[in-house]
Amino acid sequence: MKTNLLLQLCFTALLASQSSAAPDRPEPPTHQRQAVRPRANPMPANLVPVPSQLGAPLTGLTPEQAADFRAGMAEFENVESPDGGLGPVFNNVSCVHCHADGATGGGGVVTVTRYGRLEKGVFNPLTEFGGTLLHQNTINLGVREDIPPEANLIAHRQSTPLFGLGLIEAIPDADLQRAAAQPPRDGVKGRAAVIQEVATGQMRVGRFGWKAQQATLLGFAGDAYLNEMGVTSRLFPTETAPNGDTAPLAIYDTVADPEDQVDPETGKGDIDLAADFMRFLAPPPPGPQTPGSTAGRAIFQQINCAHCHTPVLNTGANAIEALNKKSVPLYSDLLLHDMGPLGDGIAQSAAAPKEMRTSPLWGLRFSAPYLHDGRAATIDEAIRAHDGQGQASRDRYLKLSPTQRQQLADFLRTL
């Protein structure tokens, strides 16, 4: 009992010294550091409360925030029409068409197609032909997009679940940058995706999308309205030219830009409403623990999955109380990693062709199939496909006994 209490005290002291901003504070004495090491999984003090139902709003919203969530959900489910700015080329008619698995805001098996050209190891986004995203639909058969013959590289990407994204948005850039500055462990070194935030022009750490291509939910909403639905907004005012050709726009793009108008009464456009919905959407509820999953949790740490799939990150100070200083069990460092041949080959924003953002693993049991293109039907297949910086960890996985592999999968299905 006594030793436990002592450990607890040392641990509290260590936490206090780590969270202090003073850079020149002396390191805690070695005996203290060694003493706390065995406590691998301390329960974070401020773990975000999660409602039991998938797709519910965050716990603890004010009535106004709850109303914004509902209004945002209605916009997220709203079907756009050509009169409202849909197209001329687009991928689908509403956000929920691609984000519906389990609840509004979930992932989906629908994939979008990216293309480019790889020449002598250099990626060419084929911007002059409208690369890299293919728009598979059109409001009029007189205008359409095809993959240009110049493309020699085609990648497919699944839509990701949006549960808990407000918490991910609220994690400070500095925390991600600090993690990226750590020395490599086991051949693993993440890179913060530093990008220019479209709404403010500031340099920020991207964290959304398979390539960590956006830093904020408003930025992603604007991107999705334009790129998935062909709806321009104040953040993305320029209509997509089909395969890079602006001529058809004169005929088929009849709604004045920006097509998404700001409502003078609320000061919000559709992009703001969709961002509200995503910001207030609760994380996925954890599944019940079993003896197998408890054993699997330890295996997850031992074989270094946690080097990239960081179990917990913390939000900073936030004006929204439900997002303020919460521990977030997302199981990702939100950094880019060179995944070797698993990378999708597309350079986008700050990400190089082989770099992918570590996928958050919370809610995994709701989001099969897995990996960016859905190639893995099972968790086992997803782990086996890890390569590049994920290779050492994958090789340890392959050496586990079938029982241990099952325990690891059981654990992942509780997140």
- The tokens describing 106, both together, are 């979930």
Told to check if 279 binds ligand HEC by CB under 6 A, we report no
Told to check if 405 binds ligand HEC by CB under 6 A, we report no
d(CA 78, CA 321): 28
Amino acid identity, residue 155? Answer: A
User: How many degrees, rounded to 5, is the angle at CA 249 between CA 248 and CA 250?
Assistant: 90
d(CA 104, CA 281): 10
Going by C-alpha positions, the residue among 319, 248, 251, 329 that lies closest to residue 283 is: 329
d(CA 111, CA 331): 23
* Residue in 192, 249, 371, 415 binding ligand HEC, rule: CB under 6 A: 371
Told to check if 101 binds ligand HEC by CB under 6 A, we report no
Taking the complex as a whole, the smallest distance from the CB of residue 38 to ligand HEC amounts, in Å, to 21
Told to check if 393 binds ligand HEC by CB under 6 A, we report yes
Told to check if 259 binds ligand HEC by CB under 6 A, we report no
Is the distance from CB of 146 to CB of 189 less than 8 angstroms?
A: no
Taking the complex as a whole, the smallest distance from the CB of residue 336 to ligand HEC amounts, in Å, to 8
Nearer to ligand HEC, 117 or 191 (CB): 191
d(CA 83, CA 256): 10
d(CA 89, CA 143): 7
Told to check if 126 binds ligand HEC by CB under 6 A, we report no
Nearer to ligand HEC, 61 or 336 (CB): 336
Taking the complex as a whole, the smallest distance from the CB of residue 371 to ligand HEC amounts, in Å, to 4
Residue that has been written with the tokens 């979008």 in this structure: 112
Nearer to ligand HEC, 224 or 322 (CB): 224
Nearer to ligand HEC, 50 or 415 (CB): 415
- The tokens describing 193, both together, are 């995706």
Told to check if 372 binds ligand HEC by CB under 6 A, we report yes
Nearer to ligand HEC, 35 or 72 (CB): 72
Which range of residues in 2-10, 34-42, 235-243, 381-389 is near ligand HEC by CB under 6 A?
381-389
Please list every residue from 190 through 219 that binds ligand HEC, using CB under 6 A: 208-211, 217
* Residue in 198, 308, 328, 347 binding ligand HEC, rule: CB under 6 A: 308
Told to check if 112 binds ligand HEC by CB under 6 A, we report yes
Is the distance from CB of 87 to CB of 96 less than 8 angstroms?
A: no
- The tokens describing 304, both together, are 């270094």
Told to check if 160 binds ligand HEC by CB under 6 A, we report yes
Cα Rg of the chain (Å, integer): 22
- Could you tell me if residue 302 is left (phi over 0), alpha (psi between -120 and 50 degrees) or otherwise beta? alpha
Taking the complex as a whole, the smallest distance from the CB of residue 191 to ligand HEC amounts, in Å, to 11
d(CA 312, CA 275): 23
Told to check if 143 binds ligand HEC by CB under 6 A, we report no
Nearer to ligand HEC, 61 or 371 (CB): 371
Taking the complex as a whole, the smallest distance from the CB of residue 2 to ligand HEC amounts, in Å, to 37
- The tokens describing 374, both together, are 């859905």
Taking the complex as a whole, the smallest distance from the CB of residue 231 to ligand HEC amounts, in Å, to 8
Residue that has been written with the tokens 């953040």 in this structure: 235
Told to check if 97 binds ligand HEC by CB under 6 A, we report yes
Going by C-alpha positions, the residue among 196, 231, 189 that lies closest to residue 78 is: 231
d(CA 312, CA 325): 12
Length of the chain: 415
- The tokens describing 356, both together, are 């992918």
Binding site for ligand HEC (CB under 6 A): 91-92, 95, 97-99, 110, 112, 157-160, 162, 165, 188, 208-211, 217, 220-221, 224-225, 228-229, 274, 278, 303-305, 307-309, 337, 339, 342, 356, 358-359, 361, 364, 367, 370-372, 379, 382-383, 386, 389-390, 393-394, 397, 412
